[in-house]
Amino acid sequence: MFTGIIETLGVIKNINRNEISVQILLDDLKIGDSVSVNGICLTISEIKKSDSFALCNFNISPETYSRTNLKFLKVNDSVNIERALKLNSRLDGHIVTGHVDDVSKILSIRKTGDSFEFVYSIPDALNKFIAEKGSVAIDGISLTVAKKMGNKFSVAIVPYTFQNTNLKFRKVGDYVNLEVDILARYVETLFSKENNENKLKYLIGEKW
């Protein structure tokens, strides 16, 4: 589990359908650690350390490769890095599982004063989970939906977030990893028509 507060940027040193190697400027990583790489929860399978960085290898499943933007990334691209949440840590962002729902496309980037407005597409299957003032994770970054416009939404990016994540390298047309708010998923499941029908069948069965 993660918070969506990016700790540092990593640099891809090798990537294919089965594995990704990332150079990370953190000194306390070890084999078996869960790390959010662009919002994807991955496990360190191999690590080589130097005085200033760790070269971490992560295995990739076919599902992860097909569902995320890993298939669009290349060597020397920057990726957002966050270590797993500790139980005694503050939850400064929101609950991020690292299970990417789908990819989204950057539709526009507009500078507004010192900040930026990014507009992203919404995959059809995820539209019901996106709400104004709700939370989303974009490439692992905890962000708040500023406005929802049909099949797209905007977020406001403050200078600190822009400078300390890979947003500063992004351009219109890029694909990013999108994870919707897990609370929205639970609420939708709780009040879904199918779930309510199952409850009714249960109650009728109990009564008769």
Domain boundaries, the chain: 8-83, 102-190
Q: Nearest Cα to 12, choosing from 168, 142, 140, 166?
A: 166
What is the pLDDT at residue 118? 98
Q: Check whether 203 has a pLDDT greater than 50.
A: no
- Listed in sequence order, the DSSP H helices in 25-174 are 62-67, 159-163
What is the pLDDT at residue 199? 47
User: What's the CA gap between 8 and 207, in Å, rounded?
Assistant: 57
Q: What is the mean pLDDT of residues 157-161?
A: 97
Which residues, listed in sequence order, are joined to residue 49 by a DSSP beta bridge?
54
**Residue 72 DSSP code:** G
CATH class (in words) of the domain with range 102-190: mainly beta
Q: Six-digit token pair at 35? A: 């790390």
CATH number listed for the domain at residues 8-83:
2.40.30.20
**Residue 96 DSSP code:** B
Instruction: Output the pTM of the full model.
Output: 0.88
Q: Which of 71-75, 91-95, 140-144 has the lowest mean pLDDT?
A: 91-95
SS3 86: coil
User: What's the CA gap between 96 and 90, in Å, rounded?
Assistant: 13
Model confidence at 207, pLDDT cuts 50, 70, 90, reads very low
User: Fold identical between 8-83 and 102-190?
Assistant: yes
> What are the b/e assignments for 18-47, b being 16+ CB within 10 Å?
eebbbbbeeeebeeeebbbbbbbbbebeee
Q: What is the mean pLDDT of residues 126-151?
A: 96
What is the pLDDT at residue 192? 66
- Percentage of the chain beyond pLDDT 70 is 88
Average pLDDT taken over every residue of the chain: 90
Q: Are 55 and 21 in contact (CB under 8 A)?
A: yes
* Residue that wins the pLDDT comparison between 89 and 143: 143
Q: What is the mean pLDDT of residues 147-170?
A: 97
